[in-house]
Structure 1
């Protein structure tokens, strides 16, 4: 077994176990309305800004209700819910069964008989099907670039016309923050945190037949996320 494959298995195992255990409560609070500290509140606001930007992009195109969308790594449904409420047909999956269960509960609370949403417990590379748009937000931070390349390649094969990704950009400033423990704070943070060079992610997308259409950056005190929209 090569080091890359072994690392990939280890990362997936760590992520799955973390978000089904101590990480579930922590991130359910951050992504929801639970009690959080100042740092977690900042991360909540940053994550929501990224969600809002993606929803605005899709709404601005004027055809959201006609789209089939894959929300890969859906978490507690922060993106799935507004997309479904706008009429899109959404397939949402996450590696964590607890996260998917929470997403299902949230959907029941805000939507009556949501026939346009389907949920599944799956890692990114187990997803099958074909979708107008594939979206993967704040997931690649858990995997090194070589593994992210394989994941992006698979997601690209599912997307008929568009792939939207977010990732922690690799810069000297953010690397320094990470090293001194300020970038990913919290004693319950147990997954690895990987940054990616924007040029590397763009190259991966281009190698899979996509070009960049729109990009944005969300920066708060503790949340940094580069957002890319790539189209065929």
Structure 2
């Protein structure tokens, strides 16, 4: 059986890149993208895809979440956390970007659910965050290599009671071509590189990981919308 160790050097380097990107380079663009503000054609496809993915992830949780706790790992501007809180969950929403956390908190105040969400800027894998009923990584692992994704899941799994939902950038010809051409965002706003992953190989790696032996792989579904392509995977505790 295989054992995966998360490289602290790689992880910290990637986290630093993402913090710089979301906090400095693209905070305003992501605030607009995740709102109802007018956007261009390319960003409109990304917005639509993210909306569909968020709805899919939330559909895999119970309709009634009162009495449960949720870790929104890489919460961005907070739409998923708000919807989960509206369904009764106590949410911990964390992101590497303090700027996006500010936006998320403001939106939760407007939605009337800020009292049900704890917003934090920091490391989504920090064990000090505590234990949760469910955890969701929506597009927050897509910049990491396969082994680092597996290691991140293994690190988090002991603190999750029921399910972990996460997304990857699926390895497809279209996605590879778009990123090779650098067309996902204009040059000045381009995010750190995604790491396209073969879903079947990821599933095999998860199955071989001793720390994830108490988990079974559940629902798997891809969302594709123009320039957005993401695949979700559900892990359920046995």
State how many pairs are aligned.
Answer: 225
2:235 equivalent in structure 1 = 230
TM-score (structure 1 length as normaliser): 0.89
Mapped partners of 1:170, 1:67: distance in 2: 34
Which of 19, 23, 28 pairs up with 1:20?
A: 23
Determine helix, strand or coil for the equivalent of 2:11.
helix
Q: Structure 2 unaligned runs (5+)?
A: 1-6
Deviations 1:1-25 (A, max 9, x none): xxx6543332111101111112111
Residue 62 of structure 1 deviates from its aligned partner by 4.2
Deviations 1:162-190 (A, max 9, x none): 100011111234223322334x2322114
Deviations 1:28-63 (A, max 9, x none): 1111123321100110010010011122222xx344
1:132 equivalent in structure 2 = 133
Residue 132 of structure 1 deviates from its aligned partner by 0.8
Aligned positions of 1:63-78 closer than 5 A? 63-78=64-79
Q: Structure 1 unaligned runs (5+)?
A: none
Tell me if the contact between 1:217 and 1:227 (Cα under 8 Å) persists in the aligned partners: yes
Aligned positions of 1:1-232 closer than 5 A? 5-58=8-61, 61-111=62-112, 114-127=114-127, 128-182=129-183, 184-187=184-187, 188-206=189-207, 207=209, 208-209=212-213, 210-232=215-237
Determine helix, strand or coil for the equivalent of 1:203.
helix
Mapped partners of 2:108, 2:186: distance in 1: 29
Determine helix, strand or coil for the equivalent of 1:66.
coil
